[in-house]
Amino acid sequence: MSPFRIIGVVCASQVLVQIGAFAVPALLPIFIDQWALSNTDAGWIVSAFYAAYTLAVPVLVSLTDRIDPKKIYLGSAAFTAIAAIGYAVLADGLWSAMAFRALAGIGWAGTYMPGLKALSDFVEGQHQSRAVALHAASVGVSGALSFVIAGAIASTFG
């Protein structure tokens, strides 16, 4: 497979796996109203994502030295999907929302850096620096799209 194709596939999958990362913060005012949350509660829901991410990164990134980064990436992508579906279907207040956001944080930890490692394992030479830059940009794109898509879905489906 050509380096351009590998870069495109990895960056596109990165956008798709992380596209929901900021949906909850984008829709937090709705959750505050629906679940009668305090601002502190809302802060805990948002911080559960980052706390889990922070704790999981050193573990998952270290594992890429012993385990194929693609396996870590795919497992983490599954965690992210479970977290998103679980939040959408099952979350009904502070504790369930925090649990699903923590799962999402673990998923995010296992996709960003392990995805970058998997990409750099396949792309060499002059293409590698471009691949790293495009990978980082795809994370930014997914963050922006996360807000846009969350808002569109909320206004369309309530």
Q: What is the mean pLDDT of each run of 10 residues along the chain (158 residues)?
A: 84 88 92 96 97 97 93 94 95 97 95 88 85 88 90 88
pLDDT at position 92: 96
Which H/E stretch holds residue 28?
Answer: helix 23-35
DSSP-derived letter for residue 67 is: S
Cβ atoms of residues 20 and 49 within 8 Å: no
**Amino acid 149: pLDDT:** 92
> Do the beta carbons of residue 70 and residue 119 sit within 8 Å?
no
What pLDDT does 97 receive? 98
| pLDDT for residue 4 | 84
Q: How far from 21 is each of 30, 53, 64, 121, CA to CA, in Å? A: 17, 11, 22, 26
Q: Is the pTM of this model over 0.95?
A: no
